[in-house]
Every structure is written in structure tokens, then in C-alpha cells.
Structure 1
């Protein structure tokens, strides 16, 4: 008991001395006499600074020489895109964010890796104007003013010579006066097939343009990508009064769906929660189906992929317009 009491007293005394002389008194004096103490100790501090300056310089030089070697060996501590998407999936499942917020975050994460051909409007769906045609045919076409900009070509759509903002046509729609369409054209902006939409966004910002012509590997016109296309890739579809709202996926019955061929392939596999490796330049469900078939699809074509049975229900000569998707049960899949 005596030794225990002595140890307790000693520890208490040491604690009081350390706190008093190591914390309370120095800090109290420092706050009260800060200026006078600083002036009093400055000569001593400056003396040791000069005395140890060569040593500090040599140590700093040695660190700068060794640091690049150490950094080169050090593994980069980076988070991959897949890991970020998994984090978003996890916090969404835990209820910290809702589905729409999760979709927005996933779109923002994948934004930098999305190429122009994945979001563009293909050439078969574009309204072009031939510079040799009568301009009043364009003015009298009711479809003309559903677009804000129309690509203008000479001889062939692979030779785009300008972009016509349709707002410039309104005065002539009323006056019916003849005019030179060349005066209304703005210079076209061209981007390659595989350019990322984040890069295109920067170009739009620098050039103040809102539309770019996507060029394929052979130099032909593959489609157009607009500022709206890029924004929709992040926030989802933006509908205006001229758009025909058609759902790309419709539920027919439990585990049976009708899917539009133009539905984006990533959205398709996200919906059915299927993993796939994308090794071709298709961006739509129709393109993926043709890739699986190895040819142009015809009505009645059928194949299975993982737990999905795909049947072509609507097709023309070159495109698959609609498919029926049946989600197979485990028993059917085993058979």
C-alpha cells in the first residue's frame, strides 16, 4: 500500500509540474508578453538559424535528389472509374441517395470516357439541305423549323459546307424574297468518330458553337453531335414541344419487354443488370443485335444472351427497329 501510495503521489506531482510549467505558465506569459519575449529571444533564434543554415541546405538538397526515385517506386493511389461507380451503387442501396441522383452521378463519372459516336444523331436521322436545291423548298417544309440548325452540303452529304441556323430563315418566310443562302451559313465544326464528348464540350465553349459534324474513319459524314446531346448524356433526355415522347422500353407482361432498337446499349444492360464486354463500335440495341447475329436482322431472328431471349419483331433492310426481350427463369436457362 505504501509503494502504491508513493507512486500515485509522485505521478500526481509530476502531472501538476508538467501541466503548470509546460503548458499553463508558458502560454499565459506568451499571451501577455508576446512582443517583449519575441524581441528578447530573437538574437538567440537568429544565431542558431545562421549556424545551422548550411546543414539545413544540404539536407534539403539531399531530399530533392532522392524524392523522384522514391516517388517513382511508390504505387499511384488512384481510384478507378469502376470503383467510383461501385461507391455510387453502394450509397444508393443504403438509401443515402435516390435512383435519379445515382444515375446523375454515374453519368458524370462516365462522362469523360464517352465517345462522340455513342451520343450522336446518325446521318440517316438528320435533315440535310443541298445547296443546289431551291431554298423555298426548305422554307415550305414544315419539318425545317423543328430544328435549330441544319447541315448544308454540296453534291454529297459527305461534303458539308456549312451550318444553317433556322432562325435566320424567319424573315424570308414572311417576305418571300430571294436571298443567297451562303450569306446565312456558319462554318461547320468537324470532330472525329472517337473524340470524347468532354473534349467536344471544351471545343463548343471555345468556338461558341452548339453542333459538330462527326466524321468516320474514311472521312465521310457519320452523324452530328450537339450541345443538347452532351447535356442529355449527363442529365437524361430533354424533351421539348416538338419531340415525340416514346419510351425505349415497354413492359408487355412480367419478364417480357418490347425494346426500341435505338435504345442505348449501356441503358439496356443496366436495366436488365447484365454484364457484357463491349468490343465493337455499336452504341444501340439494334447495332448490338446485328453484332450478335453477324448480319442484318430480319423479323423472327432469335438468339439468347445470358438469361435473355431476344426476338426481332420489327426490322427494315438494314436496321433492327424493335425487339422482344424475355427474361428466362433458371430452369429455362439450364435447358
Structure 2
């Protein structure tokens, strides 16, 4: 081989290397680029619209364009095998002439080393590197390869068509159906798995994943899964007076009560709303609740909660009765029960104080934030302290600082509770340890202000 021919071959090898790398990059870019991602960029109006439309067409006709990349990779491999091996072998043989290897063995050594070197270069430069680039930056690589791939596809379309038809015929003969782009549909589990990966990769907010999981679960649940069971149901009788039900409200805290006949939970006639009761009590609290009865709807306990919510919206009612298979009351469902399936537990005024402020420890004590209001402290521990009513302070920390000269680890007794200051920073009480004290145990109190 002349020096001129050697140079030409080396140039061809470089071109073929680039060509092979291009088609491998195009193949993985096609597979990795999502249709939804292209549609999002198109909707936003950013990027090269012509390239994006071509890319979208390629992704939607994936089999056809993957066949095009395979044709390109195959052509590059044929050319490389035809020219590359001989050229690399010749270069290695020339390099080995300075070694003491016998001339009869030079060609054998050159052939072996040539194959190894060519294989190494092909795998690294034309396979691994472009593959990793396309997997890491699929959209950027897609924009880089789409135009050349488009024209290569036009030039070789007859051959690509023949390959696809031939492959489809063979697959039919095997009793199988050729893959179709429409088959690429993700299940709920796959969507959630991809979303978790997006969260760990920083592309999706953790709360978005949480709401997505709850939305999927939402569609799978029925009224029975979220209802208040009849055994826990607080009802009032149709013969009860407004005054009686208001007293019930003050004890239980519920703003709505199902109304039954003869104290039978299977005979729910409607419900009463505390606003109506209080307004009526200003006029006459001795009348029966039957005069304030609101309509309540009933649904089978197997009703999907999505359909249940739609019925509640249409009927403009915040409460429904779930019936069992025999027509008896199985429980009730409120709008709050449904919202909590999507947004988690939503505490309202009748619920316990937020767990961010009062935390129960394993030893039975409580870790109480100094920001806890005096009212919430009384409400949580079900106690009443007259000194709290007379104090101008709003929080428990403010009350203690107003009335005592406190320091870290001091213990103050209030009623049946010992309050130990466990975190005291910049003259403010951050956290307290609260325990119920025994009457016989005496605690040394700090001096009062």
C-alpha cells in the first residue's frame, strides 16, 4: 500500500468513525427523547420549530427511523471492516519492525493487535461515548442529529422500507405482532417509578409526587374506605330540641349531626347544621330539630369516591349516607373525608392541637412549644386555669415570662402539670417538657415576678 493510499484510508476511517458515532447517537436520542418533552417545548414556543416538528415526527414513527439508524450503523461497520482492519494492521506491522520479532510473525502480531485496537476504538468512540451523550442530553443530541438523519432517511428510504416490510413479514410468520409506537403506554406503577426517579434527580418536586400518588389512590377507593363507620357515628333524634343539640355540639364539637327516627341509625332522615341551630336558639331553642332538617343523600357503600364527590357537588351537600348491601346505614362520608384523601389530614377547629407544637414522648411526657397559645394548651390537656383568663399573654412562653423569673431547667407547676424549661434561648422559652405531677410530690418553683 502506497503512502498516498494509506493517507486516503486513514481519512476514510476517520469519516466512518464519525458516521458510526452519529448513527449510534441518533439511535439513542430517538429512544430517549420523549414525545411529551418535544410537545412541551413546542407549546412553549422556544427552540427551532422546524427541527422540533421533524423530531416529533421521528419519535412518532420510531420503528421506521430506528431502521434508518441501523442501516447507517451497518454501512459504517461494513466499510470499517473492509478498509480499517487492513490499514491498522499495516500501521502496526510498520511500528513493530523496530522490535526483534521475526518477520514471519509480524503479520500475525499485526493482525491480532489491529483487530484488538480497532475493536477498542470502535466500542469506545462509536458506541459508548455517543450512547452516553444521548442518554445524558437526549434533547440536545436530538436537535443535533435530526436534520442529517432526515436527509439520510430520504436517500435510503426504499432500502429502509424493504427492511421494515421484510422484518414485519418474518414476525408475522412467527405468530407475533410487530411493535407499534402506540404500544408504548405506561402503567400507574411505571409512571410513579419514573416520577420517583425525577424527584431524586431534582426534576420533580417531592410534593408533586405525593399528590400524584394520592390521585391514583383516589380513583381506586370507594365510599366504604373513607367513611365514618356507623359505630362511631354521632346522631340526634328527630324529637330533640335545638337546645339539646347545641349542648351536644358543645360537648362533641361536630358542626353537623345526622338526624334519625327512634334513635335508629338505619333511619337517617336528614342532618342539622350548627349555624342553623345557633341562629334559631336566639329566637326559641325549645323547638324540635325537625324544623331545621336539611336533606341528606344516600349512596351505596361501594360508590367510587370520585363519583361520590361529583354527586355531592351536584346536590350541593357536604355529607352523604353510605348504605350497605341490605339498605342499612354503613356510615357517613363528608367533604372533608374526601379532601383528606388528596391533601392529607386537614386539622380544623375541633381537632387536636397541631403535632408541630405539642409532641408526645415515649415516657408519657409532652414536648410543648413556647409558641403554643394558652387556649390550645387548655384544649389539648383538657384543663381550665383561671390565671390564664386573667393574663394578658397569648402564648404559654409569654405567660411564664410574665409571671416567673425563669431560667433553663426550671420547673413551674400549673394546676396538675409540671412545666420544665428545656430550651431557653435569648430570654425566650422555645420548648417545655410537660408532665402530670402527683399531689404528694413537691416541686421547687422559681420565684414569681
TM-score between the two structures when normalised by the length of structure 2: 0.37
More helix by share: 2
* Greater gyration radius: 2
More strand by share: 1
